[in-house]
Amino acid sequence: MCIRQTELPGIRPLFASLLYRFHEVADFYRYPPVLDSAEAAAREIRFDPRHRAALTAELRRQNEGCGPETAANLDRLEKPDTVVVATGQQVGLFGGPVFALYKALTAVRFAAELTRRGTPAVPVFWLATEDHDLAEVDHAWVFSPDGVPAKLRAVTQGAAGAAVGAHKIVDADLAKLEETVSGFPFADEAAASAREAYADAPYFADAFRALLRKLLCRFGLIFLCPMQREIRRLAAPVIEQAVARSPELTAKLLVRGRQLEQAGFHRQVRVDAETSLFFLFENDVRVALKKQGDAYRAGAKRYTHGDLLARLRENPSAFSPNALLRPVMQDFLLPTAALVGGPAELAYLGQSAVLYESLLGRMPAVLPRASFTVLDGRAAKLLDRYRLTPAECFVPAADLEERIAASLVPPELHGAFAGSVREIETAMLRMERRLSSFDPSLHASFSLSAGKIRYQLEKIQAKTARESLRRNETAQRHAAYLSSFLYPNRSLQERVYGMLPFLAQFGGGFVDRIADAIAPDCVDHQVLTL
């Protein structure tokens, strides 16, 4: 079963137009979001062989021990005609939300399809270790066999404001994880994978990579951590160009922001005259670099344009790109033909396109990651029992209870309500016609009274449904289960729950089922029953 992305809660208009009405956003993206575009983008790539050789050598070092499939892909990447399908994610606790796994598998699937079509491609996963918002990565959500959500939180060591890649995990809350998923058929295996990845107080990136590597090594996924010294050295030319042209690039972003607004969209990332596109690492803390007149300021420190260029040449690792420049740096480093992302990321790229054009003269195709709601057997049976679609469960818990309650009203009472409503509507229509012919001025007064009558009828129907639900405690439990499993915290399942409870429930076959369900020509949200 598929659900159009436009039917999901919280969809971004720019993302919706990109997927379904590309003509509305053609001025903001180089290509439509289809795999044919990746083949076109691949033909535009001109990659320095020396850069490719240095990049591959560094990726071999970062992916040491990843297995023969990844080693084979690194061999392919060394060849001059091989391109990359790139994706990435913040390095959240226990892999972050499960859509990180979906992203990785989408990149794997698209790279394989491009290769099959005659464009050699390998999947690369960018570990977003530079982000400094620890609160976004230091927790994970899991669920129990009863569908009860539980939040796990890591205890960490690291300077406030430092990049998350520099934070060490002292306690990963493994005991609570094991307690929550106990009772699932594969709980022991899932917990063992977590213990193995999070042993010995690892850093966020190390643990994240270890967990995904265990699950995905046989797919040949290549991991890239951008905070490594050699990566920063290789990225230095595009960063230097962005620093040197910062006022010009900011001006272009301001124009693009106005163009988006004139087209009926909003600016995905705020840009103003002070925007510089960079952060600086000051004593390991990531500080926004702001333009002030002819100079720049990072915290209490002031820099001239020349100061910044000198510092960049001395220490490339001191510079960190913002959300709009980061993908450009990535695709300068990599021969990227396609970039796989979620709704927010692909919306950002409508702004980043002006940076791609100015700094690279090319841009990869942007392709949506596969999107899933997973149903277990219990959820599938409950949806069938209460005649609900999954999309009808993407509502607040109280609203879902109302829907289930309505299905519990006895059929004869439903019929009585329907018959009574028809009779009352017919009687009110006759009365309205007679009053209008007697005195038209009474029409407005009667319409108001008729509205009140309809409101009271709807109110007693809702009360009847709630009473049915109150009498049926089993249905209340069912409503709670569907709500917490399919729409936890008023958000899609894939955006909240991590991968571990699914692995505990379905075993390693979960990864294979997701991989098999990814269709390169489908941009819709899929409902997958396991």
- What CATH code is carried by the domain that includes residue 124? 3.40.50
Tokens linked to 52: 């490719």
Across the strands, what pairs with 87? 125
In this structure, are 479 and 430 located in the same domain? yes
Residue 273, pLDDT score: 87
In this structure, are 336 and 477 located in the same domain? no
The total of structural domains in the chain comes to 2
Look up residue 369 and give its DSSP letter: P
In this structure, are 347 and 481 located in the same domain? no
Question: Last residue of some domain: 374, 408, 440?
Answer: 374
Record the pTM: 0.89
Sheet holding 121-128, edge to edge: 222-224, 121-128, 83-90, 336-341, 365-368
- Residue 86 to residue 222: CA distance in whole angstroms: 9
In this structure, are 59 and 180 located in the same domain? yes
In this structure, are 154 and 29 located in the same domain? yes
Residues 104 and 515: beta-carbon distance below 8 Å: no
- Residue 18 to residue 27: CA distance in whole angstroms: 11
- Residue 522 to residue 530: CA distance in whole angstroms: 20
In this structure, are 357 and 404 located in the same domain? no
Flag whether 279 is in a domain: no
- Residue 500 to residue 193: CA distance in whole angstroms: 9
Question: Last residue of some domain: 316, 339, 374?
Answer: 374
CB proximity list for 472: less than 8 A, separation 6 or greater:
408
Length of the chain: 530
Residue 373, pLDDT score: 98
Flag whether 193 is in a domain: yes
Amino acid, single-letter form, for residue 255? V
In this structure, are 344 and 459 located in the same domain? no
Flag whether 530 is in a domain: no
Flag whether 353 is in a domain: yes
In this structure, are 28 and 118 located in the same domain? yes
Flag whether 366 is in a domain: yes
Residues 220 and 72: beta-carbon distance below 8 Å: yes
- Domain holding 158, by residue range, is 2-234+324-374
Flag whether 245 is in a domain: no
Tens digit of each residue's pLDDT, the chain (530 residues): 999 999 999 899 999 999 999 999 999 999 999 999 999 999 999 999 999 999 999 999 999 988 999 999 999 999 999 999 999 999 999 999 999 999 999 999 999 999 999 999 999 999 999 988 999 999 999 999 999 999 999 999 988 888 998 899 999 999 999 999 999 999 999 999 999 999 887 899 999 999 999 999 999 999 999 999 999 999 999 999 999 998 899 999 999 999 999 999 988 888 998 888 999 998 888 999 998 888 899 988 899 989 999 999 999 999 999 999 999 999 999 999 999 999 999 999 999 999 999 999 999 999 999 999 999 999 999 999 999 999 999 999 989 988 887 777 666 555 566 566 676 777 777 777 777 777 776 666 767 776 677 677 777 767 766 766 666 778 888 999 999 999 999 999 999 999 999 999 999 999 999 999 999 999 999 999 99
In this structure, are 76 and 225 located in the same domain? yes
In this structure, are 146 and 46 located in the same domain? yes
Residue 161, pLDDT score: 87
In this structure, are 460 and 366 located in the same domain? no
Cα 505 to chain centroid distance, Å, stands at 23
Flag whether 514 is in a domain: no
In this structure, are 354 and 446 located in the same domain? no
Flag whether 257 is in a domain: no
- Residue 194 to residue 211: CA distance in whole angstroms: 7
